[in-house]
Structures are given as C-alpha cells and as structure tokens.
C-alpha cells in the first residue's frame, strides 16, 4: 500500500501538467501548465507580496516558486521574465541550473546503487578505482570511504586545485577526468578522513566519478535512470536538448545584476552542481520525498529518498546531499545552490507537511533570507491549521 501511495503522489502532479492537445517539442517539454485544484487555492497574497518585494529590492529578473502545503501542490509558477528586455515570462517550467542542490540528486543515485549492491558506503574509495592511483595516492586516500565523501569529511579541499575560475565568473572550461586524477595525486588532505567537516565540491565530483566507474554508466545516464525517470522529472538533465534551450532563463551576475553571465560547463564537477531543472519537476520530487520522510519509522523498507539516516553529528547534520537542520524552529530538511548567477533553495518540514522551492536567475544572500521568511510563515500557518482542526474535534 505504501508503495502505491508514493507512486500516486508524483503521478497526480504529473497528470496536472499534461495537455490533451498535440504539442510542439517545446510545449511537450513543459507538459502543459500546472492547474491547481480549486480546493487547495488558499490565500497566497502574503507570499506574492513577499516575492514581489524581494525581487524589486534586489533587482531580480526571474524567480520560479513551488510550494507544498498539507502534502498538496499549492503554488507552482514563475515571476519576472526569462531574459531582461524580453517578453517571455518565467513560469513553473522555466529551467535553471540548480547548483549545489545537485548534490541531493547525486545522493539519490548513490542510494540506488547501494540498494543494488554496486556500492558499499563503508568501503575505501581506492577499491572502486583500481589501477588509477599511484601507491602513494592510494595510501593517502585509503581511509576515505564513500560515506565520508558524501558527508564532507574526507579532507579534500572545497575547490579543486586546478579550478582557477575567478569568483563571479562562469565556469566555461570543463573539469576533466584527468584534472580530477591529477589533483588527487598532487594535493594533501586538509585533515584526517572522518575527523572533521569541510564542505567539498571536489568531494562530490569524486562521488560522481565513482558512481560512473562502479555502474559503467555516465552521470547523465544515472541521473535519467535513477532520478528523472522514476519521479517523472521531464526537464531535469545535465545537458539541454535544443527544445529545452527555449525554457532556459538567462543568468545574471549576483554582484552586478544587469550583466548577463552564462551557465556553468562543469565536466566531472557536474555531480556537485551542474544539473538543470524546474520547479514543476522538483515539486514532484519533493512531494515524493516529503511523503517518505513522513513515513519514517513505519516501515523497514529503505527509501533512496531518505538521505539523512547517516549524518554528521551536529545541529546542522549533513547526510547524503541533504541537510537536516535542528533549531528552535524545529526540524527541516533541505539544500541550496548558487553558481554566481543561477541559484536554488529546496526545503521541507515533514512534521508540518510543507515544502518550498525557489529557483532564480540571479543568486545571492537575498534568496536565503526569502526562503527563511517564507518557510517560517508556512510552518506557522500549518501549525495553526492543525490546532484549529484539533480544537473542532
């Protein structure tokens, strides 16, 4: 029964997107417009006001928003325009690079490969890369396991040594397999593996590379097989097809928002931050993930969407590409991303059955501030609605 319900949630969201008429390739890619049932059209004027104010205050060209309330898709649409001076408005199908939110998708891929016994979280990564490293490098990395890599406890640097991109500029030269292996040969670990925490994009590049070697498939294929196809994410990809180019928002520098920049070309760093997606897609994924987290403890079945069963022991617990935050506001899960142009926010609160998605074409601290303001209001309203229901029983 649980499996059937979990399939129904993203399926209902998918059916809401489907068009009954023959579509062009670009229209087919968007699967029509999401139409929310009238029964869940609650007052959203407060949210629209906050979004409008934030976009005006920070000169934001495009923002797409997805909101789940009581497990239902409540708001899923875009604000602003895809390109300054253009007429094409941003909507729920507008595509953005999601930056480090990609790490959560990589975590799902790893979880699926673990379930298929193609990966072991606690085996040395050296065993997955035979005949790749010198004896000295193998000894240096012997204590690094996949679990340690996923939790940013490897001692690898945050930025790969051969990545010489200037902060604010796009990455236009891909990080190659040779770059990755040479960097691993030449660098020294910042600390003993497992002894500390340090956020590492290079670490997730290595995770993606290990997934490719263990499965014999590219990261793009793994993303399609284990994430996009199972959860009906029609426009979640590592590279845009021709018809998807029409859906892409133009990114703008976060330090000069009137200046266009470009999508990142990341190569082997794609598994750390290079995926494209839309709020229409990620709403489906969040609905399924939110339901899985609400079912925790009610079944022994292991879900590839539950990424925090093993996490760093801290108030901000980092699992497999998903963070479990515990503070005075309760427990919430999420991850964000920022590519000096595109930026993303993905957060959900299982106890209150709410979630929030924000994708934009010009990032910066404003997005985190808006996320905090919106999710707090959503949680407060969910608690009030729950208390009201209880009081009427």
pLDDT of residue 389: 60
Mean pLDDT across the chain, nearest whole number?
88
Structure tokens at 34: 């999401």
Q: How far apart are CA 149 and CA 146, in angstroms?
A: 5
Q: Check if the beta carbon of residue 34 is closer than 8 Å to that of residue 76.
A: yes
Per-residue pLDDT of 212-242, as tens digits, reads 999 999 999 999 999 999 999 999 999 999 9
Sheet holding 354-360, edge to edge: 72-80, 62-69, 354-360, 343-349, 330-338, 323-327, 316-318
pLDDT of residue 12: 47
Per-residue pLDDT of 55-65, as tens digits, reads 999 999 999 99
Q: What is the mean pLDDT of residues 289-311?
A: 89
Q: What is the mean pLDDT of residues 70-76?
A: 90
Give 315's pLDDT tier (boundaries 50, 70, 90): low
Task: Name the residue with higher pLDDT: 38 or 275.
Answer: 275
Q: Check if the beta carbon of residue 349 is closer than 8 Å to that of residue 383.
A: no
Give 42's pLDDT tier (boundaries 50, 70, 90): low
The pTM is what? 0.89
pLDDT of residue 5: 45
Per-residue pLDDT of 154-179, as tens digits, reads 999 999 999 888 888 999 999 999 99
Residue 384 has pLDDT above 60, yes or no: yes
Residue 24 has pLDDT above 70, yes or no: no
**How would you class 174 by CB atoms within 10 Å of its CB: exposed for 0-12, middle for 13-18, buried for 19 or more?**
middle
Residue found by looking up tokens 């470009």 in the block: 262
**Non-local CB neighbours of 189 within 8 Å, separated by 6+ positions:** 140, 154, 155, 156
Residue 20 has pLDDT above 70, yes or no: no
First to last CA, the chain: 28
Give 37's pLDDT tier (boundaries 50, 70, 90): very low
Rounded to 5 degrees, what are φ and ψ at 331? Answer: -115, 130
pLDDT of residue 380: 92
Per-residue pLDDT of 84-129, as tens digits, reads 999 999 999 999 999 999 999 999 999 999 999 999 999 999 999 9
């Amino acid at each position: 029964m649980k499996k059937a319900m979990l399939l129904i949630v993203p399926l209902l969201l998918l059916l809401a997107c489907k068009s009954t008429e023959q579509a062009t390739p670009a229209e087919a890619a968007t699967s029509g417009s999401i139409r929310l049932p009238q029964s869940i059209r609650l007052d959203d004027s407060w949210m629209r006001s906050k979004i409008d104010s934030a976009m005006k205050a920070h000169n934001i060209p495009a923002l797409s928003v997805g909101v789940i309330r009581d497990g239902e898709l409540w708001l899923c649409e875009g604000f602003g325009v895809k390109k300054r001076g253009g007429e094409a408005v941003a909507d729920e199908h507008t595509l953005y690079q999601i930056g480090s939110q990609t790490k959560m998708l990589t975590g799902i891929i790893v979880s699926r490969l673990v379930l298929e016994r193609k990966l072991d979280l606690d085996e040395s990564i050296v065993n997955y890369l035979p005949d790749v490293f010198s004896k000295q490098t193998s000894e240096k990395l012997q204590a690094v396991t996949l679990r340690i890599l996923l939790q940013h406890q490897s001692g690898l640097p945050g930025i790969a040594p051969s990545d010489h991109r200037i902060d604010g500029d796009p990455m236009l030269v891909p990080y190659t397999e040779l770059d990755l292996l040479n960097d691993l040969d030449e660098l020294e670990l910042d600390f003993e593996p497992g002894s500390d925490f340090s956020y590492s994009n290079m670490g997730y590049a290595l995770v993606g590379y290990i997934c490719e070697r263990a499965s014999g498939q590219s990261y793009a294929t793994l993303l399609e097989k284990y994430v996009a196809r199972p959860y009906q994410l029609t426009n979640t990809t590592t590279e845009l097809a021709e018809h998807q180019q029409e859906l892409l928002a133009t990114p703008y520098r976060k330090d000069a928002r009137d200046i266009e920049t470009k999508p990142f070309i990341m190569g082997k760093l794609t598994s750390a931050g290079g995926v494209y997606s839309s709020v229409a897609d990620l709403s489906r994924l969040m609905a399924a993930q939110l339901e899985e987290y609400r079912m925790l403890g009610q079944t022994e079945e292991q879900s590839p969407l539950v990424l925090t069963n093993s996490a760093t022991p801290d108030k901000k617990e980092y699992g497999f590409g998903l963070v479990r935050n515990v503070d005075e506001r309760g427990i919430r899960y999420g991850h964000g991303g920022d590519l000096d142009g595109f930026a993303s926010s993905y957060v959900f609160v299982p106890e209150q059955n709410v979630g929030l998605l924000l994708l934009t074409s010009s990032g910066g601290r404003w997005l985190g501030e808006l996320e905090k303001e919106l999710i707090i209001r959503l949680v407060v309203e969910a608690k009030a609605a729950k208390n009201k229901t209880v009081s009427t029983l």
